[in-house]
């Protein structure tokens, strides 16, 4: 039996343009925020295209300061194939860094833990492999953009 970790293969980099958050406020689950997705692009060795406007990231900021992320949106390849993306994840940093991030200020991405687990759904026959694998992402939050680099777990 081997104890080697699985290999990762780079899939693409998403650059997602986002609007300012809609703040619902303190709920029994935590601080609820919804961040509208305005559009964007994605590009990798075999897949490229655009992020369609209309999605959003439904966030809960827990009492311990950790942001639970649940982004749902659609990407369209340069060949016109649509792919539904549900990207869940966690983002956290020391309290002062998180406060600045949540206020929309620029922070050094190296100070923030931001990892995701994207899942894909499509009807495109040649892209069904996206629905049959596990993917991981490493992300950065900028004031008007989120960058997510995605790898397939082999």
What's the CATH code of the domain at 93? Answer: 2.40.160.20
* pLDDT beyond 90 at 102: no
Kind of pairing, strands 145-153 and 134-142? antiparallel
What does the mean pLDDT of the chain come to? 95
pLDDT at 116: 98
Residue 51 lies in a domain: yes
66-87: average pLDDT = 98
> Residue 146 — pLDDT band, cuts 50, 70, 90?
very high
Residue 1 lies in a domain: no
* pLDDT beyond 80 at 1: no
Structural domain tally of the chain? Answer: 1
pLDDT at 137: 98
Long-range contacts at 80-85 (CB < 8 A, ≥ 24 apart):
81/49, 81/122, 81/124, 81/127, 82/52, 82/122, 82/123, 82/124, 83/120, 83/121, 83/122, 83/124, 83/127, 83/130, 84/120, 84/121, 84/122, 85/55, 85/118, 85/119, 85/120
69-84: average pLDDT = 98
Residue 3 lies in a domain: no
**In 3D, which of 20, 82, 18, 74 has the Cα closest to residue 51?**
74
Domain housing 149: 8-153
Residue 50 lies in a domain: yes
Read off the tokens for 141.
């939050």
* Digit-coded pLDDT (tens) for 40-68: 999 999 999 999 999 999 999 999 999 99
pLDDT at 99: 86
> Residue 31 — pLDDT band, cuts 50, 70, 90?
very high
């Amino acid at each position: 039996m081997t104890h080697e970790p699985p290999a990762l293969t780079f899939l693409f980099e998403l650059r997602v343009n986002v609007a300012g958050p809609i703040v619902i406020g303190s709920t029994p689950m935590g601080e609820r925020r919804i961040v509208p997705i305005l559009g964007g692009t994605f590009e990798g060795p075999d897949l490229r295209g655009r992020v369609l406007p209309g999605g959003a990231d439904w966030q809960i900021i827990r009492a311990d300061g950790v942001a639970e992320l649940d982004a749902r949106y659609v990407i369209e390849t340069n060949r016109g194939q649509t792919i539904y993306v549900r990207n869940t994840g966690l983002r956290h940093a020391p309290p002062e860094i998180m406060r600045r991030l949540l206020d929309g200020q620029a922070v050094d991405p190296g100070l923030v833990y931001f990892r995701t687990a994207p899942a894909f759904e499509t009807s495109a026959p040649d892209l069904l492999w996206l629905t049959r694998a596990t993917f991981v992402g490493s992300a950065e939050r900028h004031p008007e953009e989120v960058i997510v680099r995605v790898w397939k777990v082999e």
